[in-house]
Structure formats: structure tokens, C-alpha cells
Amino acid sequence: MTKNNRVPSFLVHCLLIASFFAIASCTAPRPKKPYTIPPINVASAAPESYAWPNATASNAITDLNQEINFSQSAASRIQLPLRKIETKYFILFTNVPEDQSIDFLSDLDQMYTNVIELLNMPPQLNIWKGKAAVYLFNTREQFIRFEKNMYNNTITFQAAICHQHYSGEVRIATYNMKDKEYLHQLMVHEAAHGIIHRYRSPHRIPTWLNEGLAEWAAMSTQQDQSYYTFKKRLSAKFIANKEHFPKTFFGPSDFIPEYYGTALAITDMLIAQGKTDFIRFIDHIKSGKSWQNALNTTYGMTPSALVAAYGNTIDLTSLTIKAE
Ligand SMILES: [Zn+2]
């Protein structure tokens, strides 16, 4: 099936719901006090200013050894041998047979660099705690088994998950699906979640913005935009049929697949106003401000004004937010 014919499955993504679950199940304590970050000049900041400080002193070798221990524990619990492949920024554990190439492997570091550059960070920056881990299983069933055994996570429609721990680790799990281009997009999407998690502070950005930004990163690194245009249109149609903007879009949960295209469209709309402002918006949230406050400080807008502006882009004038 070609990409143009493919109905966006929305099965995709990391799912912040799942990511929150990962955080909730993480043994690292959630930071109690808001992180205060010094104001930085984005253009001149030292690379280390971009990543949040790790809770404990650590070094790359210790961090990598901890991940290797985790992978060994996973291999034992799900009874699958996993081999390790390292790239500059990623450590991959996989049971894909050695005679099968892993299509995105050679692109992984370039994908990372692309997302880092999209967010105006220095190209050589390593934002990870050690490296980001990728668990690539040969089958969907093995991915499901990994999630169940290691995170007590029940997979329903997810194709990949980015576990973002408050102790600093970023761990992406997925499987070797037939549609390699889709897997590639998925990896960019998940890596973007990981990068945003590690950016500046552990403060969470809201689900809609996190998904919008991950989709925007995936869209920006693709030559062919038609898939994303289609996705935006489907979501716009979903909103048009409702005749209002559902309040749950901005909530911490209930972020349904139909919202992804709208999240992308709104994020794209904000970024189109200037990347510097958009990064400032993210920085305010990462410094502990609510996204509504950050939106007001950066763009002088309320959520209602944001929704109305989005409505105007899809020919829905006077679009308002309503509870279902
Ligand atoms: Zn996602």
C-alpha cells in the first residue's frame, strides 16, 4: 500500500497516556519543586544548558551499563535474546535476525540531529542521559510482551512507545513492521518525545503540544507532506462534524487518535509565527509555567483565541471550546 493511499492509522504514536504510565511506574521520585532554569540566550548557550540535570551524578559509561543491565533483565523476563547495537546517540537492543537489515539504523543519528536542529539546538549536542535506548522487536507480539513484562503496560493500538523516566532515561520500544517508511516516521516522532522530555527540565509539556511537536518533527523530516496534510484534514473534519472544539483535546488524558492532526496543525501554526517565539513558549513551560500562562506570555493569546485562530485556518469561524 502506498503512502498516499494509506489511511492514517493513528495507531502510531507513543502515546502520552502510555508515557505517563511509564513515569508513574518509574521508581525515581517525581521532582517536588519546580526546576528553576536560568534565562539563556538560545543562540549562545553552552550545549549542556539544554539538558536537564540528572538527579544523581552519573557518567555515560555508568548510564550505558545500567541500560545494558535493564536489557538483560528484559531478555530474561521475556525469554528473547537481544543483541546490542550502538550508534553515536542510541543504544539499540533487538532480536531482528542478523541477516535482516534494520532499515532506520543508519539514519538514527541523522534523525536525532535533524530534530535537535529543528529546535535550534547545537548539532553536536547529546541531550540524553548516556544514550537513548531503542528496543526493536521482531514481532508485534514480542513488543506487547516486553511492555507487559517490563512496564505492566497493556498495548492496545500503540505501535511504539517512548518511556520517559523522571530519572532521566528515555527508552523507545517498537517492532519491525512491514511499512519501513512508517517505522521511520515513528522513530522520528518517538525521538522527538524523548528530546522534549530531556530538554531543559523534567516539566511536562501538555499532551496536545507534545504530540503536535512530535508530529511536526516527523513531518519536517519527510520529503512527502501529503500524509500529514491528509491527517490534518481528517482531524479538521472530525472537529467540523462536532461543531465545537472538544475540551478533552487540552486534557492530560483522553487524547484520542483523531486529535493528532489538529495537534499538528496548531503546533505548525504556532511555529509558522517564528521558531524563536515557539522555543520561548516551550522554555516557559519547561521553567514551570502552565501552558496557558506560557501561551499568554509568548503570544498574548488565551486557549480560546488559539482555538478560534485554528478554526479560521479550517474555515470554521467562531470555533469555541466545549466540554463533551
Ligand atoms: Zn506521540
Query: What pLDDT digit, counting tens, does each position of 200-253 carry?
Result: 998 999 999 999 999 999 998 887 889 999 999 999 999 999 999 999 999 988
Among 296, 272, 274, CA closest to 284? 296
Q: Are 193 and 253 within one domain? A: no
Q: Which of 199, 217, 239 is the last residue of a domain?
A: 199
**Distance from the CA of 14 to the center of ligand 1, in angstroms?**
4
**Distance from the CA of 190 to the center of ligand 1, in angstroms?**
6
Helix, strand or coil, per DSSP, at residue 247: helix
**Distance from the CA of 205 to the center of ligand 1, in angstroms?**
12
pLDDT (average), residues 185-197: 92
**Distance from the CA of 293 to the center of ligand 1, in angstroms?**
23
For residue 138, give the C-alpha cell: 521482531
The confidence score (pLDDT) of residue 56 equals 55
Please indicate, yes or no, if residue 216 is contained in any of the structural domains: no
Whole-angstrom Cα distance, residue 292 to residue 273?
Answer: 18
Q: Are 19 and 150 within one domain? A: yes
Helix, strand or coil, per DSSP, at residue 271: helix
Res 324 pLDDT > 80: no
**DSSP annotation of 95:** -
Q: Are 247 and 288 within one domain? A: yes
Which H helix or E strand runs over 168?
A: none
Q: Are 87 and 231 within one domain? A: no
Structural domain boundaries, residue 124 = 1-27+55-199
pTM equals 0.84
What residue type is 159 in one-letter code?
A
Q: Are 69 and 126 within one domain? A: yes
Q: Are 151 and 243 within one domain? A: no
Higher-scoring residue by pLDDT: 99, 74: 74
pLDDT (average), residues 252-268: 92
Q: Are 187 and 234 within one domain? A: no
Q: Which of 165, 199, 233 is the last residue of a domain?
A: 199
From residue 258, alpha-carbon distances to 28, 75, 217, 279 in Å are: 33, 35, 19, 26
Q: Are 283 and 200 in contact (CB under 8 A)?
A: yes
pLDDT (average), residues 76-88: 95
Can you give the CATH number for the domain in which 115 is found? 3.40.30.160
Mean pLDDT of all residues in the chain?
83
The confidence score (pLDDT) of residue 58 equals 63
Whole-angstrom Cα distance, residue 155 to residue 174?
Answer: 11
Res 181 pLDDT > 90: no
The confidence score (pLDDT) of residue 139 equals 96
Ligand 1 (ion): residues with CB under 5 Å are 13-14, 211, 214
**Distance from the CA of 99 to the center of ligand 1, in angstroms?**
30
Helix, strand or coil, per DSSP, at residue 80: coil
Res 60 pLDDT > 90: no
Please indicate, yes or no, if residue 59 is contained in any of the structural domains: yes
Q: Are 92 and 194 within one domain? A: yes
4-18, 266-280, 284-298: least confident range: 4-18
The confidence score (pLDDT) of residue 132 equals 95
Please indicate, yes or no, if residue 106 is contained in any of the structural domains: yes
Q: What is the CA radius of gyration of the chain?
A: 19
Tens-place pLDDT, residues 3-28: 333 323 222 334 433 333 333 222 22
Q: Are 116 and 15 within one domain? A: yes
pLDDT band at 286 (very low <50, low <70, confident <90, very high): very high
Long-range contacts of 95-100 (CB under 8 A, 24+ apart): 95/137, 95/138, 95/142, 96/136, 96/137, 96/138, 96/176, 97/138, 100/176
Report the number of distinct structural domains present in the chain. Answer: 2
The confidence score (pLDDT) of residue 48 equals 52
**Distance from the CA of 38 to the center of ligand 1, in angstroms?**
28
**Distance from the CA of 90 to the center of ligand 1, in angstroms?**
19
Q: Are 121 and 235 within one domain? A: no
Please indicate, yes or no, if residue 214 is contained in any of the structural domains: no
Q: Are 193 and 238 within one domain? A: no
Please indicate, yes or no, if residue 119 is contained in any of the structural domains: yes
Q: Are 195 and 232 within one domain? A: no
Please indicate, yes or no, if residue 264 is contained in any of the structural domains: yes
**Distance from the CA of 194 to the center of ligand 1, in angstroms?**
10
